[in-house]
Amino acid sequence: MDSFHQRRRRDLFVAFIFAGLAALAPLFVKDVYVQNIMVLTLMYAALSQSWNILSGYCGQISLGHALYFGIGAYTTALLFTKFGVLPWFGMLAGGVISALIAMGLGYPCFRLRGHYFVIATIVIAEIGLLLFHNWTWAGAALGIDIPIRGDNWLTFQFTRSKLPYFYFALALACVAWFVTWWLEDSKWGFWWRAVKDNPDAAESLGVVVFNSKMGAAAVSAFLVAIGGSFYAQFVSYIDPESVMGFQFSLLMALPAVLGGIGTLWGPVLGAVILIPLTELTRSYIGGSGRGVDLIVYGGLIVLISLARPQGLVGLFSSRKVPAQ
């Protein structure tokens, strides 16, 4: 047990160092294109970390988290454009709504196992996408253009610099990481791992399996929705496909899967490798529109998942990755 707590202290220490270094990065990186990649990397690290809580720790693989991302983005954008509510409240509202929806959906879905559950998550997100596509009040397929009403932290809009977005994304990634770190050693964390490894055995030992899953779903959806709200502010234009499309569900899952699913550092490591690579291949070899970026990207996914099924995180660590 002692080494477990030593490890946790070391993780926290390492996280502080990384966060500090990341916070200093803009001093050296002035290029807007690179800053943009840094913002996206941090955002995906946060999203993937949140996804990892339900899918990695609790073992309920969701390929429908784009739903919560989209709800976060839409709640913020709609409250702001229709009622003039500041994005900060919209963000909170989006998070709460998503968490409630996650629990409402979890009620019937958590009876499902394996592929039946995965397909249900895809299908539900697709229904959400179709509904937003046809919801005229919310802009339907055209989406919402968020008007610029300032250049400050109050309206959370910045027209001249990307740095405020960078620091918010960094904070979000840190919060998602810290929540995971904190939950790992909580009663919930142990329950989740028990549920993942063997739900029947966990149940017989007194773990309330159903409630554990609901808790994981709520935390996970809340954090992902905050990410969605942030994204809406960052790009200031959203439409159903660009915030609720299936590709977001995958993009959220990939860093955790490649980095190490169900591990504390997996999502961060995966995002740091994958997102810059995606963006760079897209801009340097994707411009031809001939799909070379897809070939490289897809090939990499195949190679990593075959070569390191436990994720890349084990490469950087002397200790063993927690047994899956």
Partner 1 sequence: MTAETIIQSLASGLLMGLLYGLIAVGLALIFGLMDVVNFAHGEFLMIAMYITFFLFAFFALDPLLSMPLVAAALFVFGAVVYLLIVRFAVRAKANAGMVQIFSTFGLAIVMRGLAQYFFTPDYRSVNHSWLGGKTVSIGGIFLPQPQLFGALVAILAFVGLYFFINRTDFGRALEATREDAGAVALVGIDKNRVFALGWGLGAALVGLSGAIMATFFYIYPDVGASFALIAYITVALGGFGSVFGAFAGGIIVGLVEAATALMLPPALKSVGIYAVYLLVVFVRPRGLFGSM
Number of residues that bind partner 1 (CB under 8 A): 46
CB-CB contact of 213 with 60 (8 Å): yes
Helix (H, G, I), strand (E, B) or coil at 324: coil
305 lines the binding site for partner 1 (CB under 8 A): yes
Sequence-distant (≥ 6) Cβ neighbours of residue 279 within 8 angstroms: 36, 37, 40
* CA distance linking residue 101 with residue 97, whole number of Å: 6
200 lines the binding site for partner 1 (CB under 8 A): no
**Please, which residue, 19 or 292, has the CB nearer to partner 1?**
292
Among 108, 137, 159, 319, binds partner 1 (CB under 8 A): 108
Among 14, 24, 130, 148, binds partner 1 (CB under 8 A): 130
Residue 157 is classified by DSSP as: B
306 lines the binding site for partner 1 (CB under 8 A): yes
123 lines the binding site for partner 1 (CB under 8 A): yes
Among residue numbers 233 through 252, which ones bind partner 1 (CB under 8 A)? Answer: 250
* CA distance linking residue 245 with residue 35, whole number of Å: 25
Question: What values do phi and psi take at 145, rounded to 5?
Answer: -95, 115
Among 309, 315, 316, 317, binds partner 1 (CB under 8 A): 309
Provide the mask over 267-296, with x wherever binding to partner 1 is found by CB under 8 A and - wherever it is not.
----------------------xxxxxxxx
The HSE-up count of residue 145 (CA atoms within 13 Å, CB side) is 3
Of 37-45, 114-122, 185-193, 226-234, which segment contacts partner 1 by CB under 8 A?
A: 114-122
Token pair 């959370």 is found at: 156
**Please, which residue, 29 or 241, has the CB nearer to partner 1?**
241
Give least dist CB 167 to partner 1, A: 32
**DSSP assignments along 67-104, one per residue:** HHHHHHHHHHHHHHHHH---HHHHHHHHHHHHHHHHHH
**Please, which residue, 236 or 324, has the CB nearer to partner 1?**
324
Q: By C-alpha distance, which of 252, 224, 254 is closest to 73?
A: 224
The tokens describing 189, both together, are 């964390």
104 lines the binding site for partner 1 (CB under 8 A): no
Give least dist CB 94 to partner 1, A: 23
Token pair 């760079």 is found at: 280
Among 25, 151, 299, 315, binds partner 1 (CB under 8 A): 299
Which residue type does 45 have?
A: A
Among residue numbers 38 through 97, which ones bind partner 1 (CB under 8 A)? Answer: 61
Give least dist CB 117 to partner 1, A: 9
Among 160, 302, 318, 319, binds partner 1 (CB under 8 A): 302
Give least dist CB 105 to partner 1, A: 10
Question: What values do phi and psi take at 237, rounded to 5?
Answer: -150, 130
CB-CB contact of 102 with 215 (8 Å): no
CA distances from 44 to 11, 138, 154, 186, 291 (A): 20, 25, 24, 25, 23
**Please, which residue, 179 or 300, has the CB nearer to partner 1?**
300
315 lines the binding site for partner 1 (CB under 8 A): no
Q: Which residues bind partner 1 (CB under 8 A)?
A: 61, 108, 111-116, 118-120, 122-124, 126-127, 130, 133-134, 250, 254, 257-258, 261, 289-303, 305-306, 309-311, 321, 324
